[in-house]
Structure 1
Amino acid sequence: MAMVGLFWVAGSDVYVGSKPSGLAPGVRLTPEGVEALGHRQSGLYLWEDVHALTLTAVPVKTLKRQVGAVGNMALGTVVDLALSAGVGMTGEDPPLMTVHVETADGDHELAVYVAAAVGYSRTEVDLSHALLSRLTEGAATMATTLAAMSEWGRTWEGGSPRRAEREELLREWVG
């Protein structure tokens, strides 16, 4: 499993945001369409019905966000040690992003969790938006793009690649 831009690639599965577990909200991109997962959002939007696919509330990596994440982690560790409970201070879920699936029926908003703890680089955000747009250009483009992402996921071993490699993969998938 690995994060590449705003996507989580796990084997042959491609998710927008992080891969959901249990009842957590998520979105999987399949050869058939955009699949809504989790509590209070389910269904499949077929590619031939999807006119646009966009993402909002995407956290962009900034120095302030990075410092805040380190500070929160340190404070949480201190509190955990003091309480000896081994539980995080807030127990908060990661932030949510919204996937907008535009069809003839309107704009459908689907929630996904952010996979990057301190946000995404501006370049990864821009390339990921271009990739989402590319997926709606037609069946052949969508099929070859998803196939390339899935093939990479099946052969990749290890965690998420470094930023430069993630950006290069996104450029390759955008075409």
Structure 2
Amino acid sequence: MVGLFWITADAVYVGAPPGTEGRGVRLTGQGVEAVRGGADGTGGRTWTWAELRSATVEGAPVRSASRRRLSLAVDTVLTVALGGAIEPPQMILRLETAEGAEELRVHSAAAAAYVEEEFILSQDLLARFVDGTASPVTLAEWGRVADGTTPKPPARQALLREWTGT
């Protein structure tokens, strides 16, 4: 995971990858794919980057680094005390097109919350995907080399700055 993106060797997702319900939002070099349905990922909808005027994430849990650590500790205690996993918060990927807005619900991939700087850099990167100055292909290439690892926050922020050109 880097910022708002879950990056695997095969795909880049906004938020968490499709779970047991089979819903998720995949980013490709061509555009955005709302994945719905079974294991084959069928039944979704796609938008090309050229069709989009903007893409933003709303409702993401965002905290400062110190508050994020505290929230993670509290969530861990609650999970142990309640005897199971707590459902991750939902966020909305809002896509603006010439025809209007589309809202796609995705689960947060952050254990407790996203670090504020990562959230801001991720929003900037989404904007760059839309305007064509960056591509999710770059993230996918990194994912093939990273082999499922999640870097520490400073390294994630450095990657996002590199990908946004800032």
Shorter-chain TM-score: what band?
0.7 to 0.9
Task: Give 1:38 shift.
Answer: 2.7
Query: Distance between the aligned counterparts of 1:167 and 1:115, measured in 2?
Result: 16
For the pair 1:148 / 2:138, whether they are aligned, the reply is yes
Residue equivalent to 1:102:
96
Give me the TM-score of the superposition, normalised by structure 2: 0.85
Deviations along 1:114-142, one digit per CA (max 9) or x if unpaired, are: 0112111111011001000000113xx34
Identify which of 70, 74, 79 aligns with 1:71.
74
Alignment of 1:4-153 (within 5 A): 4-38=2-36, 42-62=44-64, 63=66, 66-80=69-83, 88=84, 92-138=86-132, 141-142=133-134, 145-153=135-143
Query: Distance between the aligned counterparts of 2:155 and 2:71, measured in 1?
Result: 26
Task: Give 1:37 shift.
Answer: 1.6
Query: Distance between the aligned counterparts of 1:14 and 1:79, measured in 2?
Result: 32
Unmatched runs of 5 consecutive residues or more in structure 2: 38-42
Query: Distance between the aligned counterparts of 1:31 and 1:120, measured in 2?
Result: 25
Query: Distance between the aligned counterparts of 1:148 and 1:29, measured in 2?
Result: 11
Query: Distance between the aligned counterparts of 1:170 and 1:22, measured in 2?
Result: 29
Residues 71 and 121 from structure 1, CA distance in 2 versus in 1: closer, same or farther, beyond 3 angstroms?
closer
Q: Is the 8 A contact 2:28 2:136 kept in 1?
A: yes
Unmatched runs of 5 consecutive residues or more in structure 1: 81-87
Q: Aligned partner of 1:56: which letter?
A: E
Query: Distance between the aligned counterparts of 1:78 and 1:94, measured in 2?
Result: 17
The alignment covers a number of residue pairs equal to 159
Q: Aligned partner of 1:46: which letter?
A: T
Task: Give 1:69 shift.
Answer: 3.9
Q: Aligned partner of 2:7: which letter?
A: V
Give me the TM-score of the superposition, normalised by structure 1: 0.81
Larger radius of gyration: 1
Q: Is the 8 A contact 1:36 1:110 kept in 2?
A: yes
Task: Give 1:165 shift.
Answer: 0.5
Task: Give 1:72 shift.
Answer: 3.9
Query: Distance between the aligned counterparts of 1:103 and 1:165, measured in 2?
Result: 33
Task: Give 1:64 shift.
Answer: 5.0
Residue equivalent to 2:150:
160
